[in-house]
Structure 1
Amino acid sequence: MASAPQTQGLPLFYNDLQPLSSELHANYKIRRADAAPFMARQHAVPLTVEEFPLVQRFMPIVFSVGDDPVPLALMGLNEGVNVFFDAEGRLRDQAQAFYVPAYVRRYPYMLARLRPDAEELSLCFDPNSETIGEFEDGEPLFADGKPTELVQQVLKFNEDFEIAGQKTTAFVKELKDLGLLMDGEVSIAPDGAEQPYIYRGFQMIDENKLNEMRGDQLRKIVQNGMLPLIYAHLFSLGLMREIFARQLDQGAVAPLQPAA
């Protein structure tokens, strides 16, 4: 169900990366997009821990499977299904308050090392994006050979995202070290169904192990701020059924296979 972001090649959503240059991109502009086509069939999006309190109001928060788990916001329970964005990549309910994860808002930019041995990160962008290029309209990236205020804002956003990513990596490592992650499973039985829908392929906090924690371990997760994040994740899992209901309304629930 919850696929992890790509671990080889370019990150999720990115088709190419180029470093932003005042020489090569002196005439480039940024124009605002009213849709994100890459979201139309994306069912899970990476999160940072700082987003947990906001995301848990709208989407289930789970962890990807594998040796290096990543927190994910679920926008659908099946790959290729997104109950919040339509086929054109527009929010289905523009009037409803909704939190779009920072990973989505970061695209088409990201900080990256230009060489494997480079210490500094450089601001790069995906040249395949329709929001940046040599357009007649839009806001310029450079003025008199210097980055505009807009570029400075983009850079700051990406720097903050990198810091949040480091905190997230440390949080997940601590969960693993404490043995709090387990394989997840959710069973949903809609009215009239002969058997429940079973969803797997993700990890979640083992609530029994959490409740059994004592002494130094428990004190540690309280003092370092992990406990509220853990409960945000656990509370959000109740939204699995709401996501399922949305899929049902949108005709995006696969028919159940007969039991063997």
Structure 2
Amino acid sequence: MASAPQPRLPLFFNDLMPLNSRDHKNWKSTQFTNLDFLGKTHAVPVTVDEFVDAQRHFPIVFSSGDNPVPLALMGLNEGVNSFVNDEGMVTENVYMPAYVRRYPFMLARLNPDSDELSLCFDPSAGVIGDFAEGNALFEGEGEPSEFTKNVLDFCQKFEESGARTKAFMDEVIALDLLMEGEIAITMQDNPDKPFIYRGFKMVDENKLRELPIESVEGLHRSGMMMLLHAHLFSMNLMRVIFGRQSQQGKVPAQQAEA
């Protein structure tokens, strides 16, 4: 149900082009008229800096596999986003993960032998180009515009937040706090055939309670305990998301599997 994105390019990205003043001096960035790119995505990566905000709207789970990452579930089934309608419009005022908000931009390492990151964009997004209207990407003799500087700052902060998220996950794994998740949801008209959702990881509350006092104190001091509780509280929303899918007619006819 919640496998980490594994394509060669990150989730949403179909192509990646470095932004430069030579080729894109007169280019502009416009706003998306819809979020079609998000509409068929049920699980979106989130950083630890977003847990408190995201847990009010979505279940936060961890992807399966050897390198789990935190994911906000906007739907429980592949291809279902219960917050985006068929026209690609967000249906209500909901927290939008930074991973979504940065698209179509991202920082990428163009040279595998260098740690330097370059600001890139997805040209297939259709919102960056040689347009008459929009936010200029460069000004003067090819200097980054204020808009581009703000985009770069956002992407840099996202990378920093990603590093904090990796440190958090490394500690969670070191403490062996994760277990394979499973949730069964029944519908009133068919209580004998529950929908079973698997394929994700979650914090094992028993292991959390049984940690040595030194580890518990360390989690409190670092702020990790608050994040773990935000994740656990958010799991109550699994049934809420299922209810949204049911109202929208997006629950599979047969028993759901991860």
Question: How many residues were matched structurally?
Answer: 254
What secondary structure, in the 3-state scheme, does the structure 1 residue paired with 2:112 have? Answer: coil
- Deviations along 1:1-55, whole A, 9 cap, x unmatched? 112112x511111111111101110011011123111111100000000000000
- Separation of aligned partners in 2, 1:36 and 1:189: 31
Give the superposition deviation at 1:85. Answer: 0.5
CA separation of 1:257/1:240 partners in 2, compared to 1, >3 Å: closer, same or farther?
A: closer
Give the superposition deviation at 1:214. Answer: 2.2
Matched, 1:48 2:47: yes
Residues 154-233 of structure 1 aligned to structure 2 (within 5 Å): 154-193=151-190, 194-233=192-231
TM-score (norm 2): 0.96
Contact 2:195 2:255 in 1 (8 A): no
- Separation of aligned partners in 2, 1:89 and 1:236: 25
Structure 2 gaps of 5+ residues are: none
Matched, 1:114 2:113: no
Letter aligned with residue 89 of structure 1: G
- Separation of aligned partners in 1, 2:164 and 2:198: 27
Residues 23-172 of structure 1 aligned to structure 2 (within 5 Å): 23-93=22-92, 97-144=93-140, 145-172=142-169
What secondary structure, in the 3-state scheme, does the structure 2 residue paired with 1:16 have? Answer: coil
- Deviations along 1:126-164, whole A, 9 cap, x unmatched? 111111111111111111110100000000000000000
Structure 1 gaps of 5+ residues are: none
- Separation of aligned partners in 2, 1:148 and 1:186: 48
CA separation of 1:107/1:257 partners in 2, compared to 1, >3 Å: closer, same or farther?
A: closer
Letter aligned with residue 255 of structure 1: A
Give the superposition deviation at 1:121. Answer: 0.5
- Matched-pair identity in %: 54
Contact 1:46 1:103 in 2 (8 A): yes
Letter aligned with residue 40 of structure 2: R
- Separation of aligned partners in 1, 2:255 and 2:58: 27
What secondary structure, in the 3-state scheme, does the structure 2 residue paired with 1:151 have? Answer: helix
- Deviations along 1:52-107, whole A, 9 cap, x unmatched? 000000000000000110100001110000000112321023xxx31000000011
Contact 1:41 1:87 in 2 (8 A): no
What secondary structure, in the 3-state scheme, does the structure 1 residue paired with 2:179 have? Answer: strand
CA separation of 1:103/1:242 partners in 2, compared to 1, >3 Å: closer, same or farther?
A: same
What secondary structure, in the 3-state scheme, does the structure 2 residue paired with 1:23 have? Answer: helix
Give the superposition deviation at 1:257. Answer: 4.7
CA separation of 1:257/1:199 partners in 2, compared to 1, >3 Å: closer, same or farther?
A: closer
Give the superposition deviation at 1:189. Answer: 1.1
What secondary structure, in the 3-state scheme, does the structure 1 residue paired with 2:218 have? Answer: helix
What secondary structure, in the 3-state scheme, does the structure 1 residue paired with 2:106 have? Answer: strand
- Separation of aligned partners in 1, 2:143 and 2:33: 28
- Separation of aligned partners in 2, 1:177 and 1:214: 14
What secondary structure, in the 3-state scheme, does the structure 2 residue paired with 1:128 have? Answer: helix
Give the superposition deviation at 1:256. Answer: 3.0
CA-atom RMSD, angstroms? 1.2
What secondary structure, in the 3-state scheme, does the structure 1 residue paired with 2:72 have? Answer: strand
What secondary structure, in the 3-state scheme, does the structure 2 residue paired with 1:195 have? Answer: strand
